[in-house]
Structure 1
Amino acid sequence: MPVTWTNILNASHLDKLILNGNSLDKTQLSSSHMESFILNSNDLHKAVLSASHTDNILVNACQLGMHLLNARHLDKLILNAIHLDKPLLTASNLDSLILNARHLDKPHLSATQLDQALLSASHVDNHFLNASQFYKPLLSVSHLYNFILNVSNFYKPGINASHCHKAQLFDSKLDSLILNASPLHKALLSTSELDKLLLNASLLDKALLAASHLDTFFSMPVTCTTFF
């Protein structure tokens, strides 16, 4: 059996080594070393760390500065279920890690990488759009609003047609995310943003939505609230 960090250290020792600022301060490690130590599953497997410790390693800016990770590693850290599984993160930390512009913003990721990180079919369908994993209670209203509707995050120039296409998103999941009152109630949307999201063909062609759901949505009484 190959010798790895997880073979040598029990959980409590690995916790101390990684989380104790005196033992492992990011200023003592080069960017490449930090990346290798944290992201390589042979060095750090989620099974070794408690949920609270994983929260601290991944989310706390003092422990893991985003400038230490390049876009490729950030993609891997956020999207690979082996490295980042929702049960390891509290709702508030999930908000911060995924949605806060300081943690996931275009300056850190190229447009292509942002597309891949947010809208790649295999990851989005399973990680973001499934109601059991991406659900309104996990997100504050302002974060949900920004993630879905803000033109800097969800807009055609940042998402090419091949990514924002019916083939990439299952109808039922897109319907659930946008139209279902539980994951995303229309009251979260201002009138102008609702128009952009549902009616503007360049943003979201109505062909992406099942006709029955679209009919149901427009037959409902509309109560819109702006949160900004």
Structure 2
Amino acid sequence: MNSSPKVPMPTLERLATYLRYLIDLDASHVETISSTDVERQTGINAAQFRKDLSYFGEFGKPGVGYNVSELQARIARILKIDQMQPVIVVGAGNLGSALIGYPGLQEHKFHIAAAFDRDPAKIGRLQNDLVVLDESSLGEVNAKIGARIAILCVPANAAQHVANDAIAAGVRVILNFAPIILKVPERVVVRNVSFLQELAVLSYHLSSEAPAT
């Protein structure tokens, strides 16, 4: 998923933050920025920004800064989203449907190519110009699509089975919204997203505040 096994995961996460910032700047016709500008707008230390980029070569020009369009293109190549990436979504409930219709995915070169569910009431239903397909056809469909990224929006008791099927169908990266730790081969990368975990962490930061009145 990254260009070197030595690149820390937090660096890759920050690269995604820089990319979002650069896309906005490019849309506003900003041509150059400095590392100080990045710190001011993202909250990420300027030295950290320069260190993150240093994993991937030389960037910017002394006294000039960074060309926004060039830096955006290079980070997109590093993250392998300089070309459209097909993605499959498994689970077409409320969360899955919201992701299927999320316009920001296209902007970042992620294309929801197929959506699957096992609920007969959802199969065949139109979701943002996609017909929800029977989950049992995942392997057959992905043989044609060639998606290597899957987003799982299924219950915990179904997640491992779905992950197994997706991996067998060629998926190598999984974004997992199910509240379960998946068991996958070493070649497969899983990122777990837990709303409850994030809320619990945020709640902790309220502990030192006075109670609301």
Q: Quick check: TM above 0.5?
A: no
Give the strand-richer structure, 1 or 2.
2
TM-score by length of 2: 0.23
